[in-house]
């Protein structure tokens, strides 16, 4: 038998083939791959690329999906530091303009007259802005009178004098007016719901990943030593496991959050420290069933150390159940984080966690004709948790020795 045939007929290869034939598991993997790509690209693909997607336009709060509006970009009266593409992709960048929703506008000389949008089928509020103040980072009080040559003289935010033709300013202002579509609508503060939903993927994946890594590290260590050594070591570890098991998960997370603080990383650590018990119980049982098999006794007779026997001979053979519980813990971590954020103990505003978005917008389910800001993050949590559960079920079926192609 050739090496290629051996690889094809190996247990790992057969398990992979069974996994690839599991359509629900493939769907779950596809959802997670797309979520990971979105999380990596981050602010590079969001309509609102400001930090935390927190650019508020209060006049257009609670708008339905597909809402369209004309916006005027008015230059903020301060200098905004330019950032690199990768820095913007990871952390976002402050918008150098404030956005003014408008119904109509009329440019007259060195000013622009606006009808600011205040609601559907409403006339709007009148506003007049200086053209230079729209385009440049200056204050209106710093401008000077238009001279006879059709120029406008003013000082920039840094104090440098500028002389610009009014005709050029009018063209620049025209280019600052554009129509924007909010595909998922806006929330109660007039923020782009789609942008906050996409950035919220980062929080969900990050909390799941770090919580699973922490739980696997502690759980595999505790379960392995308990199952391998047995006796008093096993009794001591099981005492800790049973004690942790008796405490309600949310109550334990609350206590850890209060002890560690409500910071971004503290939440992840707190969730991870509550999830290792399941891993330890499964690893303990698997190790106990393997410690008396022939290849482990042969390793003992050859004088191998306990660390090598556990790390190189036992743990690789229990990888399947560990992968299944890791996928399940990933889903549980996402749910716990969402619950904590909903209750105010998790990720703090304005960071766009899905749980925080639910907490901020749940009142609109009954008090508003647009419940979408609360429904969208709830659906996102459901789809993400479902994807990881489908993958966990796929791993379980693929790694089951009783399963046949």
Same domain? 143 vs 111? yes
The answer to whether residue 49 is domain-embedded is: no
Question: Do 340 and 253 touch, CB atoms closer than 8 A?
Answer: yes
Question: Structurally, how many domains does the chain consist of?
Answer: 2
The answer to whether residue 341 is domain-embedded is: yes
Same domain? 218 vs 181? no
The answer to whether residue 2 is domain-embedded is: no
The answer to whether residue 54 is domain-embedded is: no
The answer to whether residue 46 is domain-embedded is: no
Same domain? 376 vs 389? yes
The answer to whether residue 56 is domain-embedded is: no
Token reading at 98: 């404030």
Cis peptide preceding 249, ω within 30 of 0? no
- Which residue did the predictor score with more confidence, 47 or 5? 47
CATH number where 12 lies: 1.10.3720.10
Same domain? 286 vs 349? yes
Same domain? 257 vs 382? yes
Same domain? 182 vs 198? no
Mapping DSSP to helix (H, G, I), strand (E, B) and coil, where does residue 80 land?
A: coil
Domain boundary pick from 189, 215, 240? 189
pLDDT(294) > 80: no
Q: How many residues does the chain have?
A: 405
pLDDT (average), residues 277-302: 83
Query: What is the reported pLDDT for 8?
Result: 55
The answer to whether residue 48 is domain-embedded is: no
pLDDT(11) > 80: no
C-alpha span between 200 and 202 (Å, rounded): 5
Domain boundary pick from 189, 209, 237? 189
Closest CA to 278 of 343, 350, 331: 331
**How confident is the model over 21-74, as pLDDT tens digits?**
888 889 999 999 999 999 999 999 999 999 999 999 999 988 999 999 999 999
Confidence (pTM): 0.84
pLDDT(273) > 80: yes
Enclosing domain of residue 113: 63-189
pLDDT(139) > 80: no
**How confident is the model over 361-382, as pLDDT tens digits?**
887 777 777 788 888 999 999 9
- Which residue did the predictor score with more confidence, 161 or 289? 289
Query: What is the reported pLDDT for 395?
Result: 82
Same domain? 208 vs 183? no
Same domain? 313 vs 182? no
Same domain? 218 vs 331? yes
Query: What is the reported pLDDT for 197?
Result: 94
In sequence order, what are the residues at sequence separation of 6 or more whose Cβ sits closer than 8 angstroms to the Cβ of residue 309?
A: 228, 296, 299, 300
Same domain? 225 vs 345? yes
User: Which H/E stretch holds residue 153?
Assistant: strand 151-155
Domain boundary pick from 189, 208, 226? 189
Question: Do 310 and 376 touch, CB atoms closer than 8 A?
Answer: no
Same domain? 163 vs 208? no
Query: What is the reported pLDDT for 150?
Result: 66
The answer to whether residue 251 is domain-embedded is: yes
Same domain? 389 vs 276? yes
Q: Give the alpha-carbon dihedral of 292, 296, 299, 300, to 10 degrees.
A: -30
Q: Give the alpha-carbon dihedral of 51, 53, 57, 63, to 10 degrees.
A: 180
In sequence order, what are the residues at sequence separation of 6 or more whose Cβ sits closer than 8 angstroms to the Cβ of residue 152?
A: 110, 131, 132, 143, 144, 146, 163, 164, 165, 166, 169
**How confident is the model over 78-137, as pLDDT tens digits?**
878 888 889 999 999 999 999 999 999 998 888 899 999 988 877 788 999 988 888 888
Query: What is the reported pLDDT for 149?
Result: 55
């Amino acid at each position: 038998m050739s090496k290629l045939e051996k690889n094809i007929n190996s247990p790992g290869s057969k398990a992979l083939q069974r996994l690839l034939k599991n359509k629900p598991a493939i769907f779950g993997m596809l959802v997670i791959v797309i979520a990971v790509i979105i999380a990596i690209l981050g602010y590079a693909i969001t309509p609102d690329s400001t930090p935390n997607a927190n650019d508020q336009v209060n006049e257009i709060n609670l708008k339905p999906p597909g809402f369209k509006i004309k916006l005027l970009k008015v230059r903020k009266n301060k200098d905004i530091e330019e950032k690199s593409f990768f820095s913007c992709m990871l952390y976002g960048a402050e918008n150098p303009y404030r956005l003014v929703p408008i119904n109509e506008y009329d440019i007259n000389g060195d000013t622009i007259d606006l009808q600011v949008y205040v609601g559907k089928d409403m006339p709007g509020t009148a506003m007049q802005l200086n053209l230079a103040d729209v385009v440049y980072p200056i204050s209106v009080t710093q401008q000077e009178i238009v001279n006879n040559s059709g120029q406008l003289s003013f000082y920039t935010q840094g104090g440098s004098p500028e002389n610009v033709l009014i005709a050029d300013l009018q063209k620049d202002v025209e280019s600052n007016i554009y129509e924007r579509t909010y595909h998922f609508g806006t929330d109660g503060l007039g923020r782009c719901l789609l942008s906050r939903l996409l950035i919220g993927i980062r929080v969900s994946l990050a909390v799941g990943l770090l919580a699973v890594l922490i739980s696997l590290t502690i759980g595999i260590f505790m379960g392995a030593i308990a199952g391998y050594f047995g006796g008093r070591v096993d009794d001591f570890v099981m005492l800790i496991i049973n004690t942790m098991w008796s405490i309600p998960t949310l109550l334990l997370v609350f206590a850890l959050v209060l002890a560690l603080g409500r910071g971004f990383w503290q939440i992840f650590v707190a969730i991870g420290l509550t999830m290792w018990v399941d891993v330890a119980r499964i690893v303990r049982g698997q190790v106990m069933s393997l410690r008396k098999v022939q290849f482990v006794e042969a390793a003992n007779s050859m004088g191998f150390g306990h660390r090598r026997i556990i790390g190189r001979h036992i743990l690789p053979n229990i990888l399947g159940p560990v992968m299944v519980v890791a996928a399940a813990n990933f889903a549980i971590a996402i749910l716990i984080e969402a619950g904590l954020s909903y209750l105010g103990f998790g990720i703090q505003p304005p960071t766009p966690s899905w749980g925080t978005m639910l907490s901020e917008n749940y009142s609109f389910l009954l008090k508003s004709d647009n419940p979408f800001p609360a429904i969208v993050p709830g659906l996102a949590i459901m789809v993400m948790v479902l994807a990881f559960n489908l993958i966990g079920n796929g791993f379980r079926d693929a790694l089951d020795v009783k399963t046949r192609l």
